[in-house]
Amino acid sequence: MPPRKRNPNGSGTVTRRADGRYQAAVYVPQPDGTTKRKFAYGKTYDECDRKRRELLDRAAGGIPTPTRDMTLGQWFDYWLQVVVKPNLAPNSYRAYETAVRHHLRPRLGSKVMVKLGVTELRGAVQALAEDHGAKTAKRALRVLSAALTAAMVEDTGLTRNVAKLVHVRATTDSGKSWDAVTVLRFLAAARRLTPYYPAFLLLCLLGLRRAEVCGLRWESIDLDNRIIWVEKQRQRASAGTVDTELKTETSKAPLPLPAQCIAPLRWARMRTAMLRERAISRGRSWFEDPEGHVFVTRTGRPLSPAHLYLVLQRIIRKEGPGKMNPKGLRKSCGTLLVHLRVHPRIVKAILRHSRITTTMDIYAEALDPDVVEAVAQLDRLLRQPARIRELEAARSDLDSAA
């Protein structure tokens, strides 16, 4: 053991334990603003001293270091601000924060994180399911699992994710889709009732997400070569509605622009120019959009996903094709591609799914009519005794030849 040196005040200590290991102790800041003593362990003095210096570096940089007696409420504060908010989309952060504030913190916030057990968590989740439904409980459990997984990465002393050991049985709402006739009826109504008909064309023909449609810019569309690049999405944030990067790299992909979209998109550009000229000539306010969004409101501001959703619902109320949302239109695109016998990997490329399993879920659901037809054919076969006798005679001939 190297000769013991006296460290300056506040720099922590390294001592040898009775079991032969070394222990470092440093006072570190906590997520709630307090200071607590943090312990780190190592097989050698140098290893333990390195961990001591790392803790001091974190403290000097103002980075909180959780301790073993941290409650879930304290960890949620740290996790949301340090892990979730800088690294995930604003909508994801908002969903996580809402689940923590409404469901997790009231029931589990006072529990010490490393002492949370399966039985205790199962009881809390069952109570949540009884009060707010199984789907809400399942979403909250998923958020808790993400938080505990992040805690295992940090040096908190947590060794297992108990949220993965608790399960909630909830019905899976995979959504619904329209058939080709209903999609055509909807597009015909959209052409009559709204100037955002080109946006709905892109939703139905290319399966774009509504945030991606609202984030489209003219610089990302080549009308002459019929190519469209999906690069941005329009999202709500603390600073308002802004353009953000797409969630995954697979979403950033050029797509062929259908021929019937060319004329409506040219008309959308002419509409924007007309609205701008009219507003300026009449002395009305007009927003000069520096990014050049494709779809804008009457005042020139980029169209928001919430506005597009309201337009969709207004068309549906007037025409009555059935309940639907923009996500359903995207799923309808995938379903129709499957009915056209398009290979699932091509469907994945068009819808820009990050995982083929997502595409296969749509593919499997869309094949339900084929399953029905196969069963119907089997039913017709078994209803024909003469055909059955022919099959038996053919099998007997094969057996005799063998």
Q: Return the domain boundaries, the chain.
A: 13-60, 72-165, 180-327, 371-401
Residue 268: per-residue pLDDT: 93
Ramachandran angles phi, psi of 268, nearest 5°? -60, -40
Helix axes 344-351, 326-339, angle to 10 degrees: 150
Do residues 77 and 31 touch, judged by C-beta distance below 8 A?
Answer: yes
- Taking alpha carbons only, the member of 23, 31, 41 closest to residue 66 is 31
Cα distance between residue 166 and residue 112, in whole Å = 18
Quick one: CATH architecture of 180-327? Orthogonal Bundle (1.10)
Length of the chain equals 402
What one-character DSSP code corresponds to residue 38?
E
Spans of the chain, pLDDT less than 70: 1-10, 31-33, 62-68, 155-156, 170-175, 238-239, 250, 361-389, 391, 401-402
| Amino acid at the residue 198 | P
Residue 301: per-residue pLDDT: 92
In this prediction the pTM is 0.64
Quick one: CATH architecture of 72-165? Orthogonal Bundle (1.10)
Q: What is the pLDDT of residues 45-75, one digit of tens each?
A: 888 888 888 888 877 776 666 666 778 988 8
Do residues 234 and 305 touch, judged by C-beta distance below 8 A?
Answer: yes
